[in-house]
Structure 1
Amino acid sequence: MAKHGKKFRAALAMYEPEKSYPLSEATAILKKAAFAKFNETVDLDLRLGVDPRHADQQVRGTVSLPHGTGKTVRVAVFAKGEKALEAEKAGAELVGAEDLVAKVAGGFTEFDAAISTPDMMGQVGKLGKVLGPRGLMPNPKTGTVTMDVTKAIAEIKGGKVEFRVDKTGNVHVPVGKIQFTPEQLAENTQVMLDALHRAKPAAAKGIYMRSISISSTMSPGVKIAFSATKVESEVSVT
């Protein structure tokens, strides 16, 4: 087992690692324990009571965080003609049709989100082996296969986040940056948790959210208190 550094051990000493805390307290602890010299990403980590091997127990969706992610999102848009011009005006960093498909097929993935117009999906669909493992494949269920590219770009750049359960039944998703206030982190986290509750598959039985924690890039995780049906939080989201 790797030995943790002095700063990591000092962060652990600021709270009880095995204790679960209300959401607002957990984000305050995370802020206090942060020690890195850069603006770390804050991640929400969950273990769900689902079996992703079954199609009817997949958990996937999108949610717009009230305070955004704090990250500059690079958007690639697969489109041609007027829709390509529309995407460029809306602020997409990469726009193209067959040329962009060929570039990505060659291994280029220097972007954080991808959008496609429906007419391009016949070609974009062939990029599954490149985009799929990175969570970048456009999907109509997440609003990234659309003719309204302006709206899709605005949502992604404004803090829209996609979440998806992995093959081990876990979800790892960013909810902000460590320079956010504890209140901003708590509000973003609560919105994400609410979205995950709404995405619970009907086929999932027993306890749905089995463990929840929040951490930053370099810090240890802080456990969030919860019950089988509702996260215990002082944060109210309407």
Structure 2
Amino acid sequence: MAKRSKRYRALLEKVDKNKLYGLREAVALAKELATAKFDESLEMHVRLGVDPRHADQQVRSTVVLPHGTGITKRVVVIASGEKIKEAQEADADFVGGDDIVQKIEGGWLDFEAVIATPDMMKSVGRLGRILGPRGMMPSAKTGTVTFDLATAVKEIKAGKVEFRVDKFGIVHNAFGKASFDEEKLYENAKALFGAILKAKPAAAKGQYVKSLAIAPTMGVGVKVDAAAAQKEIAE
């Protein structure tokens, strides 16, 4: 069994493993636990009562966090004709058509988000094996396949994040930096959790949220009272 560092053991002492914390309390404690030598992200981990093996139980959507993520994303837009100019005016970081597709096929990945117009998806489809595993493949469901490039670029720059359930039925997503003030982190956490609740598939039966935890990138997880948090979101 791997030995825990002195820092990690000290963090463990601050968390009551037998307690389910309130969402606000958990966010505040997770912020306190972010003691690494860099600005850690705070992450939400939600175990859902869905079977991702079934297409009708997939959980995937987006949410614009009210205070952003603390990370400025470099956005690539793949378009044609007049839409190239529109993307440039919307302050996309990289804009092009088939030339961008070929560049990515050649190994270029100096960006964090990709938007494409519907007419370019025939070419962009070739990038599935590259962008898919990185969670950057454009999709109409997440608003990244669209002709409304100005809105799409603006939302991503403002803090729009995509979340999706993994093969174990868990959603993992960062919702801000530990350097954010507590209130902003709490509001971001509420927005993310609310979006996950809203994304519940119609085919999901029984208890939807099995467990909820908040943790800094390099720290200890804090268990949250999921039932109380759901009521909090509904208020």
TM-score by length of 2: 0.95
Question: Aligned to 2:107, what secondary structure does the other structure show?
Answer: coil
Question: 1:109: Cα distance to partner?
Answer: 2.1
The residue correspondences of 1:207-226 to structure 2 (distance < 5 A) are: 207-226=207-226
2:90 maps to a residue whose letter is A
Residue 157 of structure 1 aligns to a residue whose secondary structure is helix
Aligned to 1:157: 157
Following TM superposition, the consecutive aligned residue runs of length 4 or more in structure 1 with deviations greater than 3 angstroms are none
Q: Which amino acid aligns with 2:77?
A: V
Counterpart of 2:126 in structure 1 is 126
Q: Distance in 2 between matches of 1:105 and 1:70?
A: 29
Identity of aligned residues (%): 54
Aligned-CA RMSD value: 1.6
2:24 maps to which residue?
A: 24
Partner of 2:197: 197
Matches within 5 A, 1:43-192: 43-192=43-192
Letter in 2 for 1:9: R
Of Structure 1 and Structure 2, which has the larger fraction of its residues in helix?
2
Counterpart-to-counterpart distance in 1, 2:230 and 2:98: 46
State how far apart, in whole Å, the 1-side matches of 2:107 and 2:53 are: 28
Q: How far has the Cα of 1:134 moved from its partner?
A: 0.8
| 8 Å CA contact retained: 1:42, 1:175 | yes
Shift of residue 7 of structure 1? 1.0
In structure 2, C-alpha distance between the alignment counterparts of 1:8 and 1:158, rounded to whole Å:
33
CA, structure 1 residues 98+204, in 2 after alignment: closer, same or farther (shift >3 Å)?
same
Give me the whole-angstrom Cα distance separating, in 2, the residues matched to 1:130 and 1:187: 34
- Are the equivalent residues in 1 in contact too, given 2:34–2:217 (CA < 8 A)? no
Q: Secondary structure of the equivalent of 1:47? A: strand
Residue 48 of structure 1 and its aligned partner are, at CA, apart by 0.7
**Shift of residue 80, structure 1, vs aligned partner:** 2.3
> Does the Cα contact within 8 Å between 2:23 and 2:229 map onto a contact in 1?
no
Contact 1:31–1:178 (Cα < 8 Å) also in 2: yes
Listed as ranges, the gaps of 5+ residues in structure 1 are: none
> CA shift at 1:237, angstroms?
7.7
Amino acid at match of 1:46: V
Shift of 1:168: 1.3
The CA distance in 2 between the partners of 1:62 and 1:44, in whole Å, is: 14
Separation in structure 1 between the aligned mates of residue 231 and residue 223 of structure 2, nearest angstrom: 12
**Aligned equivalent of 1:231:** 230
Q: 1:226 to 1:165 in 2, by over 3 A?
A: same
The Cα shift of 1:230 comes to 5.2
TM-score in terms of structure 1 length = 0.94
Residue 194 of structure 1, CA deviation: 1.0
Counterpart AA for 2:221? G
Residue 214 of structure 1 and its aligned partner are, at CA, apart by: 1.0
- Which AA in structure 1 matches 2:230? V
8 Å Cα contact 1:46/1:213 also seen in 2: yes
Q: Distance in 2 between matches of 1:182 and 1:237?
A: 21
Match of 2:2 in 1: 2
What SS does structure 2 have at the residue aligned with 1:76? strand
**Partner secondary structure for residue 24 of structure 1:** helix
Higher deviation after alignment, 73-82 or 147-156: 73-82
Match of 1:15 in 2: 15
AA aligned to 1:69 is: T
- 1:138 alignment partner AA: P
Give the direction of change, closer, same or farther, for the CA distance of 1:31–1:100 in structure 2 (3 Å limit).
same
